[in-house]
Amino acid sequence: MDLQTLTYIVVGLTFALYIGIAVWARAGSTSEFYAAGGAVHPVLNGMATGADWMSAASFISMAGLIAGMGYGGALFLMGWTGGYVLLAMLLAPYLRKFGKFTVPQFFGDRYYSNAASLVGVLCLLMASLTYIIGQMTGVGVAFSRFLGVSNHNGIFIGMAIVFMYAVFGGMKGITYTQVAQYCVLILAYTVPAIFISLQLTGNPIPQFGLGGDFVGTDMTLLSKLDQVVTDLGFGKYTETTRLSTLNMFVYTASLMIGTAGLPHVIMRFFTVPTVKDARSSAGWALVFIAILYTTAPAVAAMARLNLHATVNSAVKVDGDIYATESALVYEDRPDWMKRWEVTGLLKFKDKNGDGRIQYYNDKSKNAAFNAKAAAAGWKGSELTVNRDIMVLANPEIALLPNWVIALVAAGGLAAALSTAAGLLLAISSAISHDLLKNILMPDLTEKGELMSGKIAMACSIVVAGWLGLNPPGFAAGTVAIAFGLAASSIFPALMMGIFNKKMNKEGAMAGMIAGIGVTMFYVFAHKGIFFIKGTEFLGMFGGKANFFLGIEPNAFGGIGAIVNFIVAYIVSKVTPECPEHIQHMVESVRTPRGSKAVDGTHAH
Quote the distance between the C-alpha of residue 20 and its chain's center. Answer: 26
- Other C-beta atoms closer than 10 Å to the C-beta of 471 total 21
Beta strands per DSSP E along 267-403: 328-329, 346-348, 356-357, 383-385
- Other C-beta atoms closer than 10 Å to the C-beta of 290 total 13
Structural contact between residues 583 and 498, judged by C-beta atoms closer than 8 angstroms? no
Structural contact between residues 79 and 255, judged by C-beta atoms closer than 8 angstroms? yes
Give the total residue count for the chain: 604
> Cβ neighbours of residue 98 under 8 Å, at least 6 residues apart?
106, 109, 110, 589
- Nearest alpha-carbon partner for 130 in 569, 373, 511, 427: 427
- Nearest alpha-carbon partner for 43 in 283, 207, 314: 283
pLDDT value of residue 330: 93
Strands 383-385 vs 356-357: parallel, antiparallel or unpaired: unpaired
pLDDT-flagged residues of the chain (< 70): 25-38, 100-101, 145-146, 165-166, 168-171, 470-478, 530-533, 539-546, 592-604
Angle between helices 275-293 and 168-201 (to 10 degrees): 40
Strands 328-329 vs 356-357: parallel, antiparallel or unpaired: antiparallel
* DSSP secondary structure, 410-451, as one string: HHHHHHHHHHHHHHHHHHHHIIIIIIIIIII-TT--HHHHHH
- Other C-beta atoms closer than 10 Å to the C-beta of 326 total 18
Dist. CA 465–CA 428, nearest whole Å? 16
DSSP state of 529: G
Dist. CA 132–CA 56, nearest whole Å? 10
* DSSP secondary structure, 315-381, as one string: TTTT--TTSGGGBEEGGG--HHHHHHHHHTSEEE--SSSSSEE--S-TT---HHHHHHHHHTT--S-
- Nearest alpha-carbon partner for 141 in 418, 388, 480: 388
Dist. CA 212–CA 206, nearest whole Å? 9
Beta bridge partners of 220: 213
pLDDT value of residue 218: 84
Say how many Å lie between the first and final Cα of the chain, rounded: 52
Residue type at position 413: L
pLDDT value of residue 594: 47
Q: What 3-state class would DSSP assign to 329?
A: strand
- Nearest alpha-carbon partner for 250 in 543, 542, 522, 525: 522
- Nearest alpha-carbon partner for 291 in 86, 42, 46, 79: 46
Please tell me the pTM assigned to this model: 0.81
pLDDT value of residue 598: 44
Structural contact between residues 52 and 425, judged by C-beta atoms closer than 8 angstroms? no
